[in-house]
Structure 1
Amino acid sequence: MNILITGAGRGLGFQLTKLAVERGHQVIACVRDIGDHSENLPALAKGFPELLRIERMNVTREDDVAELAKKLSGESVKLDGIINNAGVLLAREHKIGTLPIDQLLLTFEVNLFGPMIVLKHLTSLLTDDAGANVVNISSEAGSFAGAYGGDYPYAISKAAVNMLSKQLNEELRPRGIRVLAVHPGWIRTDMGGDKAPMEASESASGILDILERKTIVSEEAFFVDHRGRQMSL
């Protein structure tokens, strides 16, 4: 498979990239800053030079995304999967009365508008009728059933990602493309913290199984966990 992954420089994105090339997939690893790789993405690229390419793409800048789409199209690149992984978790300590609106707006720019921009420009490169998938990394925080009166920017942006995933799944279904919002679990990353019960590599393995369609997800489901189990909305 040829897979494009955003936010590939660290955390879950890096683990998805690492595992994907280890499984023999070709990966376009997208990072906001080509010089910022906290988990040594360039070293991974040296180890898998024929499978991994690193591209700079800030998902909040439509010009960046359009430029990469044009570049890939010019190379006749076709994608079998897109993983929208880039995300932020901001203003955790705030309730509604002190919520900094600038951090709310930034969260939506990265967590929601970013995937929308990516999909606007890159879904045309997805292969038709060949089992292509889009995975939008969501969260149980975006579940209405699990609302807990906190993390307003993150939770609301992820609820919107779920809707985006459902909408896009309906649009792309005639092309044989599946779109899913995936809760990765509480994982040990900079975002999840060191108290999280699961390694990012375990979540990455489950997500790739979904992308590869090794894990069968029921047709009616569009919001699932990393094992493909339907999540409550």
Structure 2
Amino acid sequence: MKSIFITGANRGLGYSLANEGLIRGFNIYAGVKSSDSFPMLDPLKNQYPNRVHLIEIDVSDEESVKSAFREVQKTTESLNGIINNAAIMLEREKTIEELEFELVRRSFEINTFGPMRVVKHFLPLIYAANDPVIINISSEAGTIVNAFSTNYPYSMSKTALNMFSERLKHYVQDKGISVYAIHPGWVKTDMGGEEAPGEPSVSAAGIFNIIEKKLAITSKIAFINHLGKPMPL
């Protein structure tokens, strides 16, 4: 049975991704920052016993990422996919004069360096799989042309994530590994808000269509949306 590791899996898009993967028959390694969040995944564990593996991971802490890798490695020799979904949005409405730079750094630690840490340490399990996929959940906010006039930390950290995805794509392409930075659309989550027009379940379905190679991806760059269409830089 194929396996996927998802960070930030206890709510919002991450929860929908975990649910969609289970519906499609995957084993799900559900990464959450604290074991206190484990009960939030009880509905999935109850519905899919033995296929939901709860993994404590703080993507801003490299030792935590290493520990999570060792925990996953206990029960699987390979991963067919990684979905780096964990992210934060801080200082959204602040002007440059108002920014708290410690919170800017925190945004990069989680939104950019977090996925980099996960990939760095989990690559051995990806290398061991057949035709695996690495997905970094990005945002339209990370584009130069469509970014908000404020929202510095989130937009900049997602732009950097897109560049990391592009560099990683070229690094592993000869090993049969696909890499994408995916804009999931504006969806109803704690981050997206209730006014968002999209449903996370729809985005999750599109992302798994990409994982299962059900969509023809013609984009020359790693940055695409959940329907497989290229995003502007």
TM-score greater than 0.5 by the shorter chain = yes
Where does structure 1 lack aligned partners over 5 or more consecutive residues?
A: none
Of all paired residues, the percent bearing the same amino acid is 39
The residue aligned with 2:32 is 31
The residue aligned with 1:179 is 179
State the 4+ residue runs in structure 1 displaced beyond 2 angstroms: 70-77, 127-130
Residue by residue over 1:117-149, the C-alpha shift from the partner in whole angstroms, topping out at 9 and shown as x without a partner, is: 000100111145722100000001111122332
How far the C-alpha of 1:93 sits from its partner, in A, is: 1.7
How far the C-alpha of 1:51 sits from its partner, in A, is: 1.4
How far the C-alpha of 1:212 sits from its partner, in A, is: 1.2
What CA distance in whole angstroms lies between the structure 2 residues aligned with 1:162 and 1:17? 23
Residues 129 and 4 of structure 1: is their aligned pair in 2 closer, same or farther, counting only changes over 3 Å? closer
**Residues 80, 127 of structure 1: 8 Å contact kept:** no
The residue aligned with 1:2 is 3
**Aligned residue identity for 1:161:** L
Matched ranges for 1:204-223 at <5 A: 204-218=204-218, 220-223=220-223
**Residues 129, 175 of structure 1: 8 Å contact kept:** no
The residue aligned with 2:19 is 18
Residue by residue over 1:50-74, the C-alpha shift from the partner in whole angstroms, topping out at 9 and shown as x without a partner, is: 2111111111111111112123334
**Aligned residue identity for 1:35:** D
What CA distance in whole angstroms lies between the structure 2 residues aligned with 1:36 and 1:139? 25
Q: Does the residue aligned with 1:55 lie in a helix, a strand or coil? A: strand
How far the C-alpha of 1:219 sits from its partner, in A, is: 5.5
The residue aligned with 1:78 is 78
How far the C-alpha of 1:77 sits from its partner, in A, is: 2.3
TM-score, length-scaled by structure 1: 0.95
**Residues 6, 14 of structure 2: 8 Å contact kept:** yes
What CA distance in whole angstroms lies between the structure 1 residues aligned with 2:221 and 2:148? 23
TM-score, length-scaled by structure 2: 0.95
Matched ranges for 1:28-177 at <5 A: 28-36=29-37, 40-127=40-127, 130-177=130-177
The residue aligned with 2:200 is 200
How far the C-alpha of 1:188 sits from its partner, in A, is: 0.3
**Residues 9, 36 of structure 1: 8 Å contact kept:** yes
Residues 47 and 147 of structure 1: is their aligned pair in 2 closer, same or farther, counting only changes over 3 Å? closer
